[in-house]
Structure 1
Amino acid sequence: MPQEFKRQYKEILEQYTLRQTEHNLYEGQNFSKQLIQKNISPEEVISIHKASLEEIIPDLPEDVSHSFDLLIEVMIRYGLALKEHQTLIKKQENIKMEMELAANVQQTLLKTKVPEMSGLDIGMISVPVKEMNGDYAHFLSDETSVGIAVADVIGKGIPAALCMSMIKYGMDSLSGAKTDPIIVLDVVNRIVEKSVSDSMFISMFYGRYETTESMFTYASAGHEPPLFYSAKNNEFTELQAKGLLLGVIPNVKYEQHSIVLEKGDFIVIMTDGVTECRSKEGFIEQKKVMEIIESVKEESAQSMVEYVFHKLEELQDFEQRDDFTLVIFKKM
């Protein structure tokens, strides 16, 4: 510590031992700012405090003087730990800033517009559990067709976001909404297989709705089976379609099926953030999810998806544990 600092500190300490006023304490607080600016360590401050006190009080008891030696040793370790802690906090702040930036880039890159289609009501909600979304939903549309891709990366953070960019690239390479679902999955699978690490697993569902025939054609790459609600029969059924996860092998044969929608029918496409919600009692059963959806079947598709999200959020005590994506196609 520079001699000037030692002199200043001794004067402040001496005045405080004589008067012990608020003004003396204020001077000490101001002096501490200078110590911080000069990056003077805690043990150095204690050392100068000890030397100053011994000059101010010549007959200072030896045991009191020795106690400062112990405090100096304690502060050496404390100072090192404090610096390490501050460094880690700074790194965390930098990582957080980078994640926020990456999340903004991801939102811009993967942004999709819900199309307006005659005779079809569409609702969509996608809520990430953290900054980066491991779910992906994307629409393709033309005058008479609308396609919907819903994908889920088994993983989180930057790697998941990079996987999503590969899927987006695959979707952008398609000719349009009339492409058969099995062709869509085949194209995306080949891109993912070449570009994504073997440690990443991606499920994906693709469906295409034709307004002229009210027909929904679909295929799946290991994704959660959507739910089909028949207004006539007042019941749900799963839309099953076999298919391997994306990126495992380059050549995969996917199944393609079709179903005709009648007025009031709707299809619920989701990720496992919907089907694997957990309350304190355990997993929320699919039957409960169906009941929640059915309770708002007369509402608009967008109102339905938002209600389902908030209801499941409530059942989980507002502790979302996974990315949540839900899309509803409703025949008007």
Structure 2
Amino acid sequence: MITRVIQSLQSVLVTTCEDQSVKIEPEVLNARQYKEDSIVSEISQFINQPVRSLLIVPLFDENSSSIGVILLVNKNGLNNFTEPNRNLLQILGQQISSIIRDKNLLKEYLLKQTIEKEIDVANRIQQKLIPKYPPQINGMDIFAINKPAKTVSGDYYDFLKHDPEGKKIGFVIADVSGKGIPAAMIMSMTRAVLKTQVADNYSPASILQRSNSFIISDMENNRYVTMFYGMLDTETLDFTYSKAGHNPPYWLHADTLAIDELDANGFFVGMFDSVSYEEKKIRLSRGDKLILFTDGIVEAMNERDEEYGQERFINIIQKYHYFDAKSLVDKILMDVEDFVGGAPQSDDLTLMILNAENFEYKQIVIESDARSTVATAEFFGDLARKNPACGLDPFEVMMIIDEVVMNAIEHGNKFDPEKKVFLSYVFNDYKFELTIRDEGEGFVVNNVFATHEKLSLYDKRGRGILIIKNLVDRIEYNKEGNEVRIVKYFK
């Protein structure tokens, strides 16, 4: 009977007439079925008297799925339940259903909050595993970036020393199949294994082979890692490399702007027990660039489900061939973002560029006081006036400097005279770039990004940041939240 009530999605009133016949409204079952129903006899035994009248009201969740029933038996006295009784119980049932739904939603919300906190912790741990800065190599300009599609990433890059003197440096970029937490865990395992294989080992093929032997035993079915490993001899610029099913990096020749792919045979890491990897060697010339990337770049999708593609990727590399490593990364990501438009990021993006050419930033250290802010703004305003070809308005430059430096002094160092503000900048024929770092505790970077999306000119507190955001091409914060980088490109 209870099942039929639930299936009917209606409340049911059962009454006993004077002639002892049974009336069921609505008739979800007949009198004979009612009398033979085991639930009726069980109720009678439980209350130790015959069942004269029943009132049953189903309870539902937001999807009209049953979550239970209210069942009343034998109204006080000898009277049957009536239609007004049913109407009242239906109202009560709706309220009870709502309370249960709210309680379930609260449980789901609290569970989601717990999961989100755990994922946030996983993100912070993973960010600590990714190198904070590239290696400083005389005659080389190196930059890399990782942008997860979700909170954590299955992509990975690293810089590894093969010898104590740092004359041979390893460059690795990898992509774990899948995304999210499982991929991030495999990435962490891969990183740990690789770090045990490089000391005094100068063969990328051997490193991949030995890493595969360790990883294969702990890899789940249908999981694998694509990887590219290259080792740079910092004295000769010889670059020895092997590849495990990864996208071949591009080698941009400075003299001709021709691009070669650094391809080599080798299966994915973690897929087969016995594998071998081909090893090749090239020699870089001054000004050459190596562009290492994961498939999230070339397979980035726009709103029409079109891929960014290799042709567009190569075109942007050749167009800005004379840019330094960090600027070329910027231009590539800006072009990808422009192509993708409003479509959500579908895969992790990782990009590493090795530029066989020196690129230096000038350094300034200032005190944490208002006077330093004014002097610094005037200094950069003068730079803009002396370089009119760049098209920068000196007043806008001073406004930018005043805002970001004051933020570092006030919110970062909190006007502590013992703390300094560090500025690193470059002003050349294609960009103005400034990085400002304070000695404060930092802040939650994701909260700042969320605030940026909501700012308007009516928000007094964030008006300066909004203006800066509209004056420059890039504004980025470091993982710790105590460093901001702004860039304005002229070309």
Band the TM-score falls in, shorter-chain normalisation: 0.7 to 0.9
- Where in structure 2 are the equivalents of 1:1-332 lying within 5 Å? 68-111=88-131, 113-141=133-161, 142-176=165-199, 179-281=202-304, 282-318=306-342, 319-332=344-357
- The one-letter code of the counterpart of 1:244 is F
For 1:178 and 1:122, how far apart are their aligned partners in 2? 23
User: TM-score, normalization: structure 2?
Assistant: 0.52
For 1:159 and 1:260, how far apart are their aligned partners in 2? 38
Q: Extract unaligned runs of 5+ from structure 1.
A: 1-61
For 2:185 and 2:214, how far apart are their aligned partners in 1? 13
Residues 259/301 of structure 1: CA separation in 2 closer, same or farther (3 Å cut): same
What do the CA deviations read for 1:95-152 (whole angstroms, capped 9, x no partner)? 1011111111222234454101112211111111111111000101343222111110
- The one-letter code of the counterpart of 1:187 is R
Maintained 8 Å contact 2:170/2:230: yes
Maintained 8 Å contact 2:160/2:198: no
Cα offset, 1:222, TM superposition: 0.5
Residues 73/188 of structure 1: CA separation in 2 closer, same or farther (3 Å cut): same
For 2:348 and 2:333, how far apart are their aligned partners in 1? 11
SS at match of 2:355: strand
Cα offset, 1:199, TM superposition: 2.8
Q: Which has the higher helix share?
A: 1
For 1:63 and 1:137, how far apart are their aligned partners in 2? 71
SS at match of 1:278: coil
- The one-letter code of the counterpart of 1:158 is I
Maintained 8 Å contact 1:145/1:177: no
Cα offset, 1:179, TM superposition: 2.0
- The one-letter code of the counterpart of 2:338 is E
Q: Provide the identity percentage.
A: 30
Q: How many residues align?
A: 271
SS at match of 1:163: helix
For 1:323 and 1:224, how far apart are their aligned partners in 2? 14
1:7 match? none
For 1:103 and 1:177, how far apart are their aligned partners in 2? 32
What do the CA deviations read for 1:309-329 (whole angstroms, capped 9, x no partner)? 122122111532111100011
Maintained 8 Å contact 1:227/1:267: yes
For 2:352 and 2:179, how far apart are their aligned partners in 1? 21
- The one-letter code of the counterpart of 1:221 is A
SS at match of 1:329: strand
- Larger of the two Rg values belongs to structure: 2
Moved more, 101-110 or 236-245: 101-110
Moved more, 105-114 or 158-167: 105-114
User: C-alpha root-mean-square deviation of aligned residues, in Å?
Assistant: 2.0
For 2:310 and 2:131, how far apart are their aligned partners in 1? 29
Cα offset, 1:290, TM superposition: 1.1
SS at match of 1:204: strand
What do the CA deviations read for 1:193-237 (whole angstroms, capped 9, x no partner)? 122212312111001111222211110011011111112222212
Cα offset, 1:64, TM superposition: 8.8
For 1:135 and 1:251, how far apart are their aligned partners in 2? 24
For 2:222 and 2:132, how far apart are their aligned partners in 1? 27
Q: Extract unaligned runs of 5+ from structure 2.
A: 1-81, 358-491
For 1:132 and 1:85, how far apart are their aligned partners in 2? 26
